[in-house]
Amino acid sequence: GLPPYDDANIFARILRGEIPCRKIHEDDHALAFHDINPQAPVHVLVIPKGQYVSVADFSASATDAEVAGFWRAVAKVAKDLGLEQSGYRVLTNMGSDGGQEVPHFHIHIFGGRPIGRMVP
């Protein structure tokens, strides 16, 4: 089964304001901030405020309002960063094979250059 949520993870600490982030957007359901180790000219993370380990947990357990609010925030952040014309990539890593490092569900937004294809 899925691991339990660990409220000591780094994104939980960011949500509680215990460690700083370069915040882009915050609303009832989502927080967006710049990735500390950017892999593209724009590399942003969007996280739900609720305690969900991964996309699996979020999809199974979040309310419809949380899911809708989260995805609207993802698209709004990309648009507000000026990425809508040129395009961008959204990505989530899940679990061990997905290479997930932080066990609080998050979406990466990459943009500002052609991102290329990801071939496993």
Give the CA-trace dihedral at 93, 99, 100, 102, to 10 degrees.
-140
Segment near ligand 5GP (CB under 6 A), from 28-36, 47-55, 73-81, 111-119?
28-36
Asked if residues 30 and 69 have their Cβ atoms less than 8 Å apart, the reply is yes
| Closer residue to ligand 5GP in complex, CB, 25/34 | 34
* Encoded tokens for 20: 């700083």
Least CB distance from residue 45 to ligand 5GP, whole Å? 6
What's the min distance (Å) between Cβ of 21 and ligand 5GP?
Answer: 5
For residue 33, which of 11, 8, 66 has the smallest C-alpha distance?
11
Which of 101, 116, 119, 120 lies at the binding interface for ligand 5GP (CB under 6 A)? 101
94 touches ligand 5GP (CB under 6 A): no
For residues 111 and 43, what is the distance between their CA atoms, to the nearest angstrom? 7
Cβ of 108: how many Cβ atoms within 10 Å? Answer: 17
From 67, 69, 100, 112, residue interacting with ligand 5GP (rule: CB under 6 A): 100
Stretch that binds ligand 5GP, among 65-73, 74-82, 95-103, 109-117 (CB under 6 A): 95-103
Positions marked active-site:
106
